[in-house]
Amino acid sequence: MIDENEEILTELSQKNDQELRVILDKLYKEEQGISYKRRLLHAKIDILRAELTARLKEKRKQGKSLITAKDLEKLTEILAREVRGPSIE
């Protein structure tokens, strides 16, 4: 199956200048849409990171432990796995 963008690039020599401009404009618009979505995702990621950082700072300020027993269990499991090496299944 040929991707639509791959299909666009086939037989370029048979397309006239106007057809090439239309294709180029379409691809520019697609790229702008993707870039916009990427910027929105990065903004959401930045907001979530800032919220988590603020919460961790508040916990530390209150004297609460930043590492839970569950975190330690998971770390122990990971380290034990590394010492044993990969499992053979």
Residue with token string 């034990």: 80
Q: What does residue 9 show for φ and ψ, rounded to 5 degrees?
A: -85, 0
pLDDT at 27: 94
Residue pair 60/66 in contact by the 8 Å Cβ criterion: yes
For residue range 20-59, list pLDDT tens digits in order.
999 999 999 999 999 999 999 999 999 999 999 999 999 9
Residue pair 50/42 in contact by the 8 Å Cβ criterion: no
Measure Cα distances from 36 to 16, 48, 49, 56, 80 in Å: 31, 19, 20, 30, 43
Q: Which residues 6+ apart lie within 8 Å of 8 measured at CB?
A: 23, 26, 27
Single pTM value for the model: 0.57
For residue range 77-87, list pLDDT tens digits in order.
999 987 776 66
Single-letter amino acid, residue 57: K
| Domains in the chain: boundaries | 4-64
Q: Which residues 6+ apart lie within 8 Å of 65 measured at CB?
A: 59
3 against 61, higher pLDDT: 61
